[in-house]
Amino acid sequence: MSTVPMRTVSMSTVLLTGFEPFAGETTNPSWLAVQRAQELWEGPEALDVLELPVEFGRAAEVLNEAIERLRPELVIAVGQAGGRATLALERVAINVDDARIPDNAGASPVDAAIVVGGPAAYFATLPIKAALAALTREGIPAVVSQTAGTFVCNHVFYALMHALAGAAGDEMAAGEPAEGVPGRDHRRGPRGGFVHVPYAPEQAAGTSHPSMTVETMATGLVSIVRTSLTTTTDMALAAGATH
Amino acid sequence: MSTVPMRTVSMSTVLLTGFEPFAGETTNPSWLAVQRAQELWEGPEALDVLELPVEFGRAAEVLNEAIERLRPELVIAVGQAGGRATLALERVAINVDDARIPDNAGASPVDAAIVVGGPAAYFATLPIKAALAALTREGIPAVVSQTAGTFVCNHVFYALMHALAGAAGDEMAAGEPAEGVPGRDHRRGPRGGFVHVPYAPEQAAGTSHPSMTVETMATGLVSIVRTSLTTTTDMALAAGATH
Amino acid sequence: MSTVPMRTVSMSTVLLTGFEPFAGETTNPSWLAVQRAQELWEGPEALDVLELPVEFGRAAEVLNEAIERLRPELVIAVGQAGGRATLALERVAINVDDARIPDNAGASPVDAAIVVGGPAAYFATLPIKAALAALTREGIPAVVSQTAGTFVCNHVFYALMHALAGAAGDEMAAGEPAEGVPGRDHRRGPRGGFVHVPYAPEQAAGTSHPSMTVETMATGLVSIVRTSLTTTTDMALAAGATH
Amino acid sequence: MSTVPMRTVSMSTVLLTGFEPFAGETTNPSWLAVQRAQELWEGPEALDVLELPVEFGRAAEVLNEAIERLRPELVIAVGQAGGRATLALERVAINVDDARIPDNAGASPVDAAIVVGGPAAYFATLPIKAALAALTREGIPAVVSQTAGTFVCNHVFYALMHALAGAAGDEMAAGEPAEGVPGRDHRRGPRGGFVHVPYAPEQAAGTSHPSMTVETMATGLVSIVRTSLTTTTDMALAAGATH
């Protein structure tokens, strides 16, 4: 999917992933949005996109293969959160699969570890607060979310952060930087995170579900990428939840 | 606000109204959307737009004056429903004001009749089910709503239907056509209704509220106008609420 | 039902109705709550209870027969609103059936008038604001609701108000008293209204739906009956909706 | 379990904690519910209760002191989740404070680690799925929740699991048992978790918020304690979230 056949070590790469459709849908706005973000992207970094299967295990394998191949400095996985109303900057990935519906290969793991022996969770290493501030300034609805669920989205998010933690060659990404500020110091190693998107309008038509145009999603993703590339220390902006 | 200075009896007119901002907002997407719908409109009917004040009493006066002047065959009032996720085709206007917040003139009526001696309610005389079907086909999120609230939106909706019922010179619009099908026979007299729109994305930014682009709203309004002009008997499509 | 076989003209009667189970449920908390309210009731008025079928048409017939037989001065119909979180004092009944699911006899009317030639709506003639104030004082969660939906609950509510308007021998109940204060002057004729109740805890178990114990519902219903019997002019308490 | 009426070192102790009121409330149903659960408890284990301050830092200190003193085999912290509709069995505590409102001492930490150098998260070591199944069987509304927020509730939950992980003298509680089944093997060491409760009815009165009686909460807590004491390996019951 890269349109840049050769790459030098000095060329920065950003990888955006979306998912194939699932749960009876015929499209997945996450994949439409990352493709549109690629069109909107003006560099100088290369921006690659990748469509992941909605399958426990295989989604992570496809992602890991791309990370090894592309060596991106920034990876943002994007997934559909039908029923949510805004972009959601996910804060944390947890080491458990618990599926209420089967994935696209028919698997429904319950309370299975994603990485046996892995940490209970990873925090995103994106500057989610700075990204939230930028999106709000630009008029794009977004929130920080405290859970990415326990389905394939969280699975990919956890696998991504596990891969990046390994790539960093240290424990930087594992929840707790030296300064004691979770996810707020991103000076070393590739960074990654996860963004949930609402239904596209076409999916919500005929229902009372909230939706967002793919154009708005893509504009928001470009903003998140830009903020992530230019922010070394995240802002201290309250965006938590009381419960 | 009409751009057509002279008008002949054979020229059909459609009137769309929006509201000025209220409740601390600096824009009102209903007014932005009706203006954009006017730009998108391709006729042959004339489409006029009108901005109404968010004031009990005066909003209805401004609307009534425009109806008398323009003699539209179709009037759709549009208002902001912050927190709702889709276009809402309102089914019924009730004869009561009950304001939890002051209007833009500082008035907060509680349990006051809109028209003293008027009927308890009017049904919209738009083909709301046919409009819902068309919007769904076009991928624009919409629902039929069973309540327009008790603030200025419902006030204008009730006043509109009261005016059109009088203009029809009969009791057609008063809730109960001869065939016993509420709101489904619209052969005589001017027709009217109300559409609620969500927040625009810029208003929802920084919150978890759902939103819709003004372009989607406007495209939806054009669809509703077109369906209303071309449908004489509404579809029998279930779109009620169990409670 | 009544345990008082004979009745004199001087004996005031209150009638509470609940519904049989529907939509796959095995109980209906509305019927449990009115029975428990009867046990809690301390008079001096007689309090009768009646279980209505969840059937368009027949529910109204059963109710009307009881009203003719009992000549109650106050009738409160109660129904289940699965998914709502509080008691809901319904403000208005509208003259339309629009069923998304079949009733217990398999009927799914769409956009049918409840009473052909009847007014578009009736306002409850309960003092809903005084009742809300009393419930709040007593720590029982309640709201005023602007729509009772378009299923059998609204059907019964409309039929009830239509019957009471006829029984009143005038147009008092038809939405608009002489003073121009909808539903706030209840000096003449029998009064009526509708209260929606949430799921009971047993129904909500295993889901994320809100619920309320039958004891709380029944205590609330007794409070509403008491307030309705002792309030002639309703309070002017804001409890509307902006949309 | 011991049947010896005098307390010896072999006598099992259960500790339930609630919180003091916060955010302008005058009561906290979590504290009312744990006190009522203590009354309902029939042993043979001792059941102690403790009221925690709603203060970052100090709440954890008070809890830790009690754990050191009582050496409980089971600790369940309980907190108020205003706006939620059911009991919520929390799955995971994350190592971050992010306060949108000040705690009762005026502190509003943003993106601060709870334990500097601690793991990103701990899974509850309660059998949350078996507890969910038991509650559902008993007609008590409950769900598994994937986030306890980022306020004092999550703070106490994280501190609790950190303390128990240390007390266990091994890495058992740290998210990932040897079998690779997060939170499902609880054979060794004291166990702990967190349960969120809705508003009590008195708090929700006058609003549209869901609520639950303290009696229902307390009955549910007793059930959770009993299930936790008698379940060594949790059930594989799907209770995740797609996002």
ipTM of this predicted structure: 0.90
Helix (H) / strand (E) element for B215: namely helix B214-230
Region D142-151: mean pLDDT is 98
Q: Which of D130, D127, D93 is nearest to D113 (CA)?
A: D93
Two tokens at B203? 């208003």
Q: B136, A205: Cβ pair inside 8 Å?
A: yes
Banded pLDDT at B182 (limits 50, 70, 90): low
Could you tell me the CA-to-CA distances from C121 to A199, B158, C118, C228 in Å, in that order?
36, 13, 8, 21
pLDDT tens per residue, range A157-200: 999 999 999 865 444 344 444 344 455 444 468 999 999 999 99
| Inter-chain touch C85–D211, beta carbons under 8 Å | yes
Q: What is the per-residue pLDDT for B2?
A: 43
Q: What is each CA distance from B227 to B74, B107, B131, B231, D80, in whole angstroms?
A: 11, 36, 6, 6, 49
Cα–Cα distance between C118 and C174 in angstroms, integer? 10
pLDDT score for A85: 98
D13 CA: distance to closest CA in chain A (Å): 28
Please tell me the predicted confidence (pLDDT) of residue A61. 98
Give the DSSP letter string of B60-121.
Answer: HHHHHHHHHHH--SEEEEEEE-BTB-SEEEE-EEES-EE-SS--TTS---EEE-SSTT--SE
Note whether A touches D: 3 CB pairs or more under 8 A: yes
pLDDT at B178 over 80: no
Length of chain A: 243
Please give, rounded to a whole number of angstroms, the shortest distance from the CA of D63 to a CA of chain C: 30
pLDDT tens digits for D150-176? 999 999 999 999 999 986 544 434 444
What is the enclosing helix (H) or strand (E) of A175?
none
- Choose the closest CB to B121 out of C94, C112, C240: C94
Q: CB of A62 within 8 A of CB of A197?
A: no
Instruction: Determine the residue type at D201.
Output: P
Least CB-CB distance to A181: which of D92, D111, D119? D111
Closest C-alpha to D194, from D36, D50, D79? D79
User: How far is the C-alpha of A95 from the C-alpha of A165, rounded, in Å?
Assistant: 14
What topology does CATH give the domain B13-173+188-230?
Answer: Aminopeptidase (3.40.630)
Output the pLDDT for position D10. 52
Tokens 């209704």 label which residue?
Answer: B193
Q: C45: exposed, middle or buried (C-beta count within 10 Å: 0-12, 13-18, 19+)? A: middle
Contact B188, B1 (CB under 8 A): no
Partner residue facing C140 (CB), from D138, D143, D205: D205
- The answer to pTM > 0.95 is no
Instruction: Please pick, among D155, D162, D186, D196, the residue that the annotation labels catalytic.
Output: D196
The tens digit of pLDDT for each residue in C174-205 reads: 444 434 445 544 446 899 999 999 999 999 99
Rounded to the nearest 10 degrees, the angle between the axes of helix C152-167 and helix C58-70 is 30
**CA-CA distances (angstroms) from residue D206 to B48, B107, D209?**
43, 23, 9
Taking contacts as CB-CB distances below 8 angstroms, the residues of chain A near B201 are 139-141, 212, 216
Collect all residues of chain C within an 8 Å Cβ-Cβ radius of residue B92.
94, 96, 120-121
Listing DSSP states for D80-93 in one string gives: E-BTB-SEEEE-EE
Residues of A that are catalytic: 90, 153, 196
At residue C36, the 3 state secondary structure works out as helix
Q: How many residues does chain C have?
A: 243
User: Residues B217, B197: contact at Cβ < 8 Å?
Assistant: yes
Q: Map out the domains of chain A as residue ranges.
A: 13-173+188-230
Across the interface, whether the CB atoms of A100 and D241 are under 8 A apart is answered yes
Helix C214-230 vs helix C29-40: angle between axes, to the nearest 10 degrees? 60
The radius of gyration computed from the CA coordinates of chain D, to the nearest angstrom, equals 17
Asked whether residue C172 carries a pLDDT value surpassing 50, the answer given is: no
Task: Compute CA distances A4 → A12, A48, A62, A66, D96, whole Å.
Answer: 12, 9, 19, 14, 40
Contact list, B147 vs chain C (CB under 8 Å): 146-147, 241
Residue of B231, B230, B220, B211 whose CA lies nearest to B40 = B220
Is omega for the bond preceding C44 within 30 degrees of 0, making it cis? yes
Q: For the residues C138-165, what does the mean pLDDT come to?
A: 98
Cβ pair C180:B240 closer than 8 A: no
- Strands in chain B per DSSP E: 13-19, 46-52, 74-80, 87-90, 92-94, 97-98, 110-112, 121-123, 142-145, 191-197
Whole-angstrom CA distances from B213 to A139, B223, B236, C83 are 11, 16, 30, 29
CB atoms within 10 A of CB D83: 15
User: How confident is the model over B123-163, as pLDDT tens digits?
Assistant: 999 999 999 999 999 999 999 999 999 999 999 999 999 99
Q: Which of B84, B92, B236 sits opposite C94 (nearest CB)?
A: B92
Is C196 known to be catalytic? yes
Reduced to 3 states (helix: H, G, I; strand: E, B; else coil), residue C215 is helix
CA distance A143 to chain B (A): 6
Per-residue pLDDT for C21 more than 50?
Answer: yes
Q: What is the DSSP letter of B211?
A: B
